[in-house]
Amino acid sequence: MYTSYSFPELILSIIEEFTDGFLILDSNRRIIFFNSALQNITGWKGIDFIKRETVFLQSLDLTNLNNSEEFRTVPAPNGTEHAFKASLVKINNENGIFYLIRLRPLYEKESEEEYFLSYYDRFLNNIGDPVVQVDLNGKVIKANTGFYRLLCYDRDEIPDDISSLYVYPAAAEDKLAELTKNGSVFNLETHLYTKNRKIVRVLDTSWVMKDKNGTIKGYTTQFKDISYREKLEKRLAVSEKSYLMLFESILSSIIIVDPFGVILNCNYTAETTYGYKWNEIVGSNIDELFKIEKEHKSFKEIRNLVDTNNGRYLEEDVPRICKDRTIKYLFISYSTLKNSEGETIAYMLIEKDLTERIKLEKKLKSSVDQVKKTQSAAILGFARLTEYRDKDTGKHLKRIREYTRVLARGLQKLAKYQNYITDDYIEDIYLSSVLHDVGKVGIEDSILLKPGRLTSTEFNRIKLHSKLGGDALSAVDSELELESFLTLGKEIAYFHHERWDGTGYPEGRKGEEIPLSARIVALADVYDALTSERHYKHALSHRETVNLILSEKGTHFDPDIVNIFLDNEEVFKRIKLFETFSENPESIDDILSGST
């Protein structure tokens, strides 16, 4: 056994003589002494108390132990249990605080009854819901921890008459009358006061307690706190009301659809969007009601896209047919609605009407297209100023535009040009390519229309057309705040006679020093010039021209552009034939019968 110099030896000697078991704990509730009788009645040896001190003290449940005897069972080393009456006394002396615990063995019959009652008490206290036993006078006989916790009382504070806890005392009287008559009540809703006079809402389930003669001695009540449920119901009601207000007042159309495409609900905006009443929409199949045949995906297809895209899918410009058979275009956001198990039970469609925007965009596009047509006609008209002096120029300009677009489209597919040659670039170079020789308006007729070979002086004079055209377009382009097709026109006019090897004019630029736009138009211009009849030369055949251009790959022409030309030479040939036929149909037989 433990001994301690801090506890009076005389007391320890007296305790050692008792047949009941005693142990003493220090202020930290650690064992500092136990008598021999404790070892005899528990079967524990001294070493057991050292090794399994925690287990032994836990079995005593010291938290609820006081100076009145309480039933306790202590595990024996062999696995059985011993039943005792246990009590605890707190001792203060000059050496500190100590706890003296007494364990009294029970007789067999007493032990059996107490053992049963102990487990009954444990069962009662382990029930989460409040449970209380009351006699017929309303006095609390026994209550569990849940009961005290619900009402915020300590065990010695409960009023003598439980009916005083009822917000409506008559409810307690009615319950007692019902119990006397029927023996039980089930889920009777009532209200109780807590210690601080707050009201809790509970469900009351009670049954009578009888003695062995069948006489009613009292009743047992189980309360279920439903205050949280009442609050939750109120919050849900508010939430539902707010949801309905939002659902109905939101400016977007909202439609709820089940997994089979049947419409479950819709808001007011959906009604006004489509021109239907609520009862005309709900219950209908969404495809049958709104879908334009063959113009859009079915709901089944949309549902699969939503399910494979993490429950979300967006679409723009979706056509829908309304009740009056008009067409509306909508932006639609699809999302899944899931239950608490995570299963998809419905799909929500939030729709934004884009019809007016689509109409405006179409009008704007039509206006832009008209402006572009006007712009193109004006540019071509400007470029054809030279036609009054060179009658072949008009045909030449139309062909140049088409050749230029073919080459630019081909180059766009090359990795090195993908980020540079955009669709806007192609449109601009198509427009501006016809301005390449606009500077010829500044060259004298005697030189421009001379039927024979030019002298070196005359050739140097005609070469000035590239600078004259470039300067004219540069002056116009400088008046604009942003880059335009004239920016490319200026480059083309200046540099379309430069050569890849640096032997061209006006500056002798070499390779990629020459703007790409000018390099493209250079090849288109040469192809058309070689295949066209002029007053000073005969036309070459398509095949002769192809061979000549191929021979000047890397000298006169950019090798990449020559490669694109070779890939599209048949297109060039067809453009030449088409443009010639459209302006001079009677000559087509001569062209087709000529050498290719």
Q: Return the higher-pLDDT residue of 351 and 125.
A: 351
Q: Which CATH architecture has domain 127-230?
A: 2-Layer Sandwich (3.30)
Mean pLDDT of 255-266: 91
Q: What tokens appear for 161 in the block?
A: 């008459």
For residues 243-261, give the mean pLDDT: 79
Over residues 400-409, mean pLDDT: 93
Tokens 């061209």 locate to 504
Beta bridge partners of 151: none
Highest mean pLDDT, choosing among 5-19, 26-40, 382-396, 440-454: 26-40
Mean pLDDT computed over 34-38: 88
- 582 versus 91: the higher-pLDDT residue is 91
What is the chain's percent helix, strand, coil content, to nearest 5? Answer: 50, 20, 30
178: which 2 tokens?
Answer: 């019902």
- pLDDT category at 482 given cuts 50, 70, 90 is low
pLDDT of 74: 86
- Between CA 185 and CA 207 the distance in angstroms is 7
Beta bridge partners of 202: 190, 225
Report the pLDDT value the prediction gives residue 592, as an integer from 0 to 100.
44
Give the CATH architecture of domain 250-353.
2-Layer Sandwich (3.30)
pLDDT of residue 250: 75
Q: Domain 364-593: give its CATH code.
A: 1.10.3210.10
Average pLDDT over residues 384-403: 68
Residue 595 has a pLDDT of 44
Cβ neighbours of residue 316 closer than 8 Å, sequence gap 6 or more:
331, 354
Report the CATH fold assignment for 9-110: Beta-Lactamase (3.30.450)
Q: What is the pLDDT of residue 409?
A: 94
**Domains of the chain: which residue ranges?**
9-110, 127-230, 250-353, 364-593
Calpha distance 289→322 (Å, rounded): 8
d(CA 369, CA 346) in angstroms, rounded, equals: 44
Most confident of 2-6, 380-384, 408-412: 408-412
pLDDT, average across residues 467-485: 73
Residue 12 or 86, more confident: 86
| DSSP 3-state of 403 | helix
pLDDT exceeds 50 at position 185: yes
Instruction: Round the average pLDDT of the chain to a whole number and report it.
Output: 82
Q: Read off the pLDDT band of 10 (50, 70, 90).
A: low
Of 311, 297, 259, 262, which is closest to residue 283 (Cα–Cα)? 262
pLDDT of residue 263: 92
- pLDDT in the model for residue 413: 93
Q: What span, in angstroms and rounded, lies between the C-alpha atoms of 370 and 283? A: 47
pLDDT for the residue 596:
46
Query: How far is the CA of 396 from the CAs of 138, 301, 401, 583, in angstroms?
Result: 115, 52, 9, 11
Query: What is the average pLDDT across 443-471?
Result: 83
Q: What is the dihedral of CA 505, 506, 512, 517, to 10 degrees?
A: -100
pLDDT in tens, 197-249: 888 888 999 988 887 788 888 999 989 888 766 666 666 565 566 566 666 66
d(CA 538, CA 556): 22
Tell me the longest C-alpha to C-alpha distance in the chain: 149
Paired strand residues for 75: 81
Q: Is pLDDT above 60 for 382?
A: no
Enter the DSSP assignment of 552.
T
**pLDDT tens digits for range 282-303:** 999 999 898 886 667 889 999 9
User: What does the pLDDT read at residue 372?
Assistant: 59
Q: Is the pLDDT of residue 40 over 90?
A: no
Residue predicted with more confidence, 7 or 186: 186
Q: Which two tokens stand for residue 17?
A: 């003589």
State mean pLDDT over 110-128: 57
User: Average pLDDT for residues 38-51, to the nearest whole number?
Assistant: 86
Q: What is the pLDDT of residues 522-547, one digit of tens each?
A: 999 999 999 988 767 788 999 999 99
Percent of the chain exceeding pLDDT 70 equals 80
Q: Do domains 9-110 and 250-353 have the same CATH topology?
A: yes
> What is the average per-residue pLDDT within 48-75?
84
Helices (H), 96-186: 108-126, 145-151, 169-182
Higher-pLDDT residue of 9 and 206 is 206
Backbone angles phi, psi at 493, to 5 degrees: -60, -45
What's the pTM?
0.42
User: Which amino acid appears at position 291 of this protein?
Assistant: K
Average pLDDT (293-317) is 87
How confident is the model at residue 386, as a pLDDT?
56
The residue with greater pLDDT, 533 or 348, is: 348
Residue 589 or residue 158, greater confidence? 158
Comparison of pLDDT for 588 and 518, the residue scoring more: 518
